[in-house]
Amino acid sequence: MNTNLQTPIDYLKGVGPNRADLLRKELGIHTYQDLINLFPNRYIDRTQYYKINQLQQNSAEVQIIGQITSLKEVAQKRGKRLVATFQDDTGTMEFVWFRGHKWIRDSIKLNTTYVAFGKINWFNGKFSIPHPELELVAEHEKNLRSAMQAVYPSTEKLSNKGITNRVIIKIMQQVFLETKGKFTETLSKNLIEEQKLLSKSEALFNVHFPKSQSLLARAQFRLKFEELFYIQLQLILKNLIHKSKIKGFPFTKVGDHFNTFFKEHLPFELTNAQKRVIKEIRQDLGSNAQMNRLLQGDVGSGKTIVALMSMLIAIDNGFQACLMAPTEILSVQHYNNLNEQCKKLNISIKLLTGSTKASDRRKIHESLENGELNILIGTHALLEDKVKFKNLGLAIIDEQHRFGVAQRSKLWKKNTSPPHILVMTATPIPRTLAMSVYGDLDISVIDELPPGRKDIKTVHRFDKNRLQVFGFIRDEIKKGRQVYIVYPLIQESSAMDYKDLMDGYESISRDFPMPNYQISIVHGKMKATDKDYEMQRFAKGETQIMVATTVIEVGVNVPNASVMIIESAERFGLSQLHQLRGRVGRGAEQSYCILMTGYKLSNDSRARLETMVRTNDGFEIAEVDLKLRGPGDIMGTQQSGVLNLKIADIVKDKDILQQARFYAKRVLNSDPTLTLSENKSILNTYKLLSKYKNIWNYIS
Ligand code: ADP
Ligand code: MG
């Protein structure tokens, strides 16, 4: 039959229906193409031979040349084991079999030279290999097709059913045989020449059957580059199509509100980063396309004012604006903060949350629809169908990682024509990750803190030092400062967490008794109004200590608070710790963060604590976080598809990713529709990838 790469795997010689079924279920291999894209996890260097006296207790898989001098069966608890003594000119070791004794006894030739291969064990003061692969030296030399032997991903089921690595190698050889190892080139000639890439066929051959270390490296580079190139190509194309197809409201004026605010009411001088970002946003808003921009800025970098000034541009052009935040506390705070500025400018602004009274709600709906209301701030409540705008021109989402893509698109539909969208996040995302996950958005970064900010001094203390820590709190309060004490999140299910918080609260109340000290407590089980009341007391300085769970994590701003104590700090993730720490250091005073833990710490927790103590830089922390947790965990399942790469690794292949993005941009810049003949192979591949849904796995 005429095979092509979409031929079902069942047709491959040596596969058959049972194996095909297993390959489909266990490895998702349906076609020849899928098999070829099953890339090895690692390689074993089969040109390396060990001597027995060179073995280390950690030598993983080794290859040794020697002879079996004796075979005996040894009784053990259950059944017997077959033990062979194996020797070379430097020493002796053992091979052990727990099954298949008869077959081994029959087939092994004593005192004949074998190449043995397997994983080294150290047991009873002796090295041994359980179930080694044995090959007569003569055979071995004949079979040595390539020096580096691929080790493929596998599953327990596959190895139990006899689909060993050897079998996979066999069928991989078969697929190369049937296709003659000729694969259609997927990149353009220009790209290949300029970057001195291996051809597609050479790369695929060498990734499965490397002829040498250096060819393997080049093969891997080429395939990683290609994988990342097509993802970037798609993201950038999506962005371009978006810009050309979806017309935004052109905000051509920078009008009275913006100018008045800028000239008369700006509470401080903008940082250069803020100025740059506002300029980027203004450009987007003034163009004909709909803005879709992500604004990244560390906690305290001053994103709120950027949001306000963007909304002023919308209002100056006759449009409404909204700002959505993930929690009630945060939206209240935004509202209070922005309301103050809006008063000066004669702009109407309202707050809408789950706890807004029905009568107020009605009024808000009404004034939104008749256009009297300029700005609406709120929580998810903004997304409700009843909330209709007269002419929403700009929607801002604060703290993006709490909201999903679905919610972003819900905001879109609030208008006949989609509003401009600005997504703000305080969780710095490493550049490479941002490029892959948000590659279809435009990205602005505030990479500079307002002047005069001092680094927050961060220390790690053990629970045993609590008395000292309390002494420190007392001193700070005496100086007029305020203190946060944060406990791990209360989940509905976790009675333990709640107990920890309450025990902590009680003990703090004993050490900091009324009337000298006033303590607030805020946690997830409280009613929104009670939370708000307590937050307000703390914000006004009526209480000195705020005992809380992570509900205060996001965005809360009390500049007089200078100490953040995080209890059971080992239980928090890095970005959460960084967010929490960002609650202090907002005023002029030196601020402190104290990470409390017990003595028992995992390596990862220790790395997190050390990172926090070492640096205040959110982007650096994000990089460490990415290394510790991997991209899937950071972005959540929602975007994990983007990171489901076959060969490239977002953390390790950063440089390749940047190159891939650079070239994808360059190709599309000169040929946005990929119609030039030199880009034919790129267009074809792109179409094919879309057709067989290979890329779409990456993108929601
Ligand atoms: P975030 O980026 O975390 O949302 P905010 O917008 O809440 O940060 O700003 C943090 C604090 O810094 C606020 O008190 C704000 O008034 C202040 N701030 C913002 N920009 C500047 C600036 N350019 N100069 C001085 N203070 C600033
Ligand atoms: Mg903020």
Residue 4, SS3? coil
**Over the stretch 51-87, which tens digit does the pLDDT of each residue have?**
999 888 766 778 899 999 999 998 888 888 899 999 9
What's the gap in Å between 333 CA and the centre of ligand 1?
Answer: 13
Higher-confidence residue: 359 or 489?
359
Token representation of residue 515: 């009337």
Kindly tell me if the per-residue pLDDT of 523 is higher than 80. Answer: yes
In angstroms, rounded to a whole number, what is the distance separating the alpha carbons of residues 643 and 438? 12
Q: Is residue 579 in contact with ligand 1, taking CB distance under 6 Å?
A: no
What's the gap in Å between 589 CA and the centre of ligand 2?
Answer: 20
Residue 8, SS3? strand
**Using 50, 70 and 90 to split pLDDT, how confident is the model at 1?**
very low
* Among 636, 220, 619, residue whose Cα is nearest residue 400: 636
Amino acid sitting at position 473: I
pLDDT at position 634, please?
63
Question: How many C-beta neighbours within 10 Å does residue 199 have?
Answer: 14
For atom 20 of ligand 1, the residue with the nearest CA is 302
Token representation of residue 120: 């080294």
Kindly tell me if the per-residue pLDDT of 492 is higher than 60. Answer: no
Q: Is residue 557 in contact with ligand 1, taking CB distance under 6 Å?
A: yes
- Using an 8 Å Cβ cutoff, are 436 and 657 in contact? yes
Q: Is residue 172 in contact with ligand 1, taking CB distance under 6 Å?
A: no
What's the gap in Å between 663 CA and the centre of ligand 2?
Answer: 35
Question: How many C-beta neighbours within 10 Å does residue 481 have?
Answer: 21
Kindly tell me if the per-residue pLDDT of 145 is higher than 60. Answer: no
Q: Is residue 426 in contact with ligand 1, taking CB distance under 6 Å?
A: yes
Which ligand has the shortest distance to the CA of 400? 2
Helix, strand and coil percent figures for the chain, each rounded to 5: 45, 20, 35
Rounded alpha-carbon distances, angstroms, from residue 379 to 296, 332, 333, 356: 20, 9, 12, 11
What's the gap in Å between 273 CA and the centre of ligand 1?
Answer: 12
Give the mean model confidence (pLDDT) for residues 641-656: 80
What's the gap in Å between 134 CA and the centre of ligand 2?
Answer: 64
What's the gap in Å between 647 CA and the centre of ligand 2?
Answer: 37
Give the mean model confidence (pLDDT) for residues 324-343: 91
Q: Is residue 301 in contact with ligand 1, taking CB distance under 6 Å?
A: yes
Lowest mean pLDDT among 146-155, 203-212, 607-616: 146-155
Kindly tell me if the per-residue pLDDT of 643 is higher than 70. Answer: no
Residue among 294, 447, 557, 586 whose CB has most ligand 1 atoms within 8 A, to mutate: 557
Angle at CA 525, nearest 5°, toward 521 and 531?
Answer: 45
Q: Is residue 584 in contact with ligand 1, taking CB distance under 6 Å?
A: no
In angstroms, rounded to a whole number, what is the distance separating the alpha carbons of residues 34 and 46? 26
**Over the stretch 555-589, which tens digit does the pLDDT of each residue have?**
567 889 999 999 999 999 898 899 899 889 887 78
- Whole-number mean pLDDT of the chain? 87
Enumerate residues 6+ apart whose C-beta is below 8 A from 625. Answer: 573, 574, 575, 634
Lowest mean pLDDT among 22-36, 617-631, 635-649, 672-686: 635-649
For atom 26 of ligand 1, the residue with the nearest CA is 450
In angstroms, rounded to a whole number, what is the distance separating the alpha carbons of residues 433 and 142? 46
Higher-confidence residue: 247 or 561?
561
Higher-confidence residue: 406 or 185?
185
**Using 50, 70 and 90 to split pLDDT, how confident is the model at 338?**
very high
Which ligand has the shortest distance to the CA of 266? 1
Atom of ligand 1 nearest to the CA of 270: 23
**Using 50, 70 and 90 to split pLDDT, how confident is the model at 220?**
very high
Q: Is residue 299 in contact with ligand 1, taking CB distance under 6 Å?
A: yes
- Using an 8 Å Cβ cutoff, are 489 and 549 in contact? yes
Angle at CA 255, nearest 5°, toward 250 and 258?
Answer: 105
**Over the stretch 431-448, which tens digit does the pLDDT of each residue have?**
777 777 777 778 899 988
Atom of ligand 1 nearest to the CA of 297: 2
Please enumerate, as own/partner, the contacts of 569-572 that have beta carbons within 8 Å and a separation of 24 or more: 569/460, 569/595, 569/596, 569/597, 569/609, 570/597, 570/598, 570/601, 570/602, 570/605, 570/608, 570/609, 571/488, 572/488, 572/608
Kindly tell me if the per-residue pLDDT of 537 is higher than 80. Answer: yes
What's the gap in Å between 335 CA and the centre of ligand 1?
Answer: 15
For atom 11 of ligand 1, the residue with the nearest CA is 300
CA torsion through residues 341, 343, 348, 349, sign: positive
What's the gap in Å between 378 CA and the centre of ligand 2?
Answer: 14
Residue 369, SS3? helix
Q: Is residue 585 in contact with ligand 1, taking CB distance under 6 Å?
A: no
pLDDT at position 123, please?
78
Q: Is residue 333 in contact with ligand 1, taking CB distance under 6 Å?
A: no
Lowest mean pLDDT among 23-32, 510-519, 564-573, 649-658: 649-658
Which ligand has the shortest distance to the CA of 268? 1
What's the gap in Å between 329 CA and the centre of ligand 2?
Answer: 12
- Using an 8 Å Cβ cutoff, are 593 and 547 in contact? no
Kindly tell me if the per-residue pLDDT of 94 is higher than 70. Answer: yes
* Among 371, 365, 304, residue whose Cα is nearest residue 338: 304
What's the gap in Å between 560 CA and the centre of ligand 1?
Answer: 14
Give the mean model confidence (pLDDT) for residues 546-553: 79
Residue 377, SS3? strand
Give the mean model confidence (pLDDT) for residues 597-609: 94
In angstroms, rounded to a whole number, what is the distance separating the alpha carbons of residues 700 and 697? 7
Give the mean model confidence (pLDDT) for residues 328-344: 91
Structural domains in the chain plus CATH codes: 47-144 (2.40.50.140), 256-286+302-425 (3.40.50.300), 457-615 (3.40.50.300)
What's the gap in Å between 432 CA and the centre of ligand 2?
Answer: 23
pLDDT at position 555, please?
53
**Over the stretch 446-471, which tens digit does the pLDDT of each residue have?**
988 888 888 899 999 999 999 999 99
Q: Considering the entire predicted model, what is its pTM?
A: 0.70
What's the gap in Å between 127 CA and the centre of ligand 1?
Answer: 63
* Among 20, 172, 63, 297, residue whose Cα is nearest residue 28: 20
In angstroms, rounded to a whole number, what is the distance separating the alpha carbons of residues 333 and 314? 22
Lowest mean pLDDT among 32-46, 470-484, 485-499, 634-648: 634-648
**Residue that is written with structure tokens 């409390």 in the block:** 596
Residue among 268, 299, 308, 584 whose CB has most ligand 1 atoms within 8 A, to mutate: 268
Q: Is residue 305 in contact with ligand 1, taking CB distance under 6 Å?
A: yes
**Over the stretch 667-680, which tens digit does the pLDDT of each residue have?**
999 999 999 999 99
Q: Is residue 296 in contact with ligand 1, taking CB distance under 6 Å?
A: no
Q: Maximum CA pair distance of the chain?
A: 98
In angstroms, rounded to a whole number, what is the distance separating the alpha carbons of residues 362 and 371? 14
pLDDT at position 552, please?
65
Give the mean model confidence (pLDDT) for residues 494-512: 85
CA torsion through residues 206, 210, 216, 220, sign: positive
Amino acid sitting at position 281: I
Sheet of 91-97: strand order equals 121-123, 126-130, 91-97, 80-88, 61-75, 113-119, 133-136
Kindly tell me if the per-residue pLDDT of 700 is higher than 50. Answer: no
Which ligand has the shortest distance to the CA of 302? 1
Q: Is residue 270 in contact with ligand 1, taking CB distance under 6 Å?
A: yes
Q: How many residues can be counted in the chain?
A: 700
Running DSSP on this structure, what letter comes out for residue 261?
I
- Using an 8 Å Cβ cutoff, are 559 and 423 in contact? no
**Using 50, 70 and 90 to split pLDDT, how confident is the model at 402?**
low
Name the CA radius of gyration of the chain, rounded: 32
pLDDT at position 425, please?
86
Question: How many C-beta neighbours within 10 Å does residue 287 have?
Answer: 15
What's the gap in Å between 305 CA and the centre of ligand 1?
Answer: 7
Kindly tell me if the per-residue pLDDT of 155 is higher than 80. Answer: yes
**Using 50, 70 and 90 to split pLDDT, how confident is the model at 637?**
very low
pLDDT above 70: percentage of residues in the chain: 92
Kindly tell me if the per-residue pLDDT of 400 is higher than 70. Answer: no
Residue among 270, 294, 301, 447 whose CB has most ligand 1 atoms within 8 A, to mutate: 301
* Among 41, 87, 73, 81, residue whose Cα is nearest residue 60: 41
Token representation of residue 38: 């099953």
**Using 50, 70 and 90 to split pLDDT, how confident is the model at 697?**
very low
**Residue that is written with structure tokens 């894209």 in the block:** 37
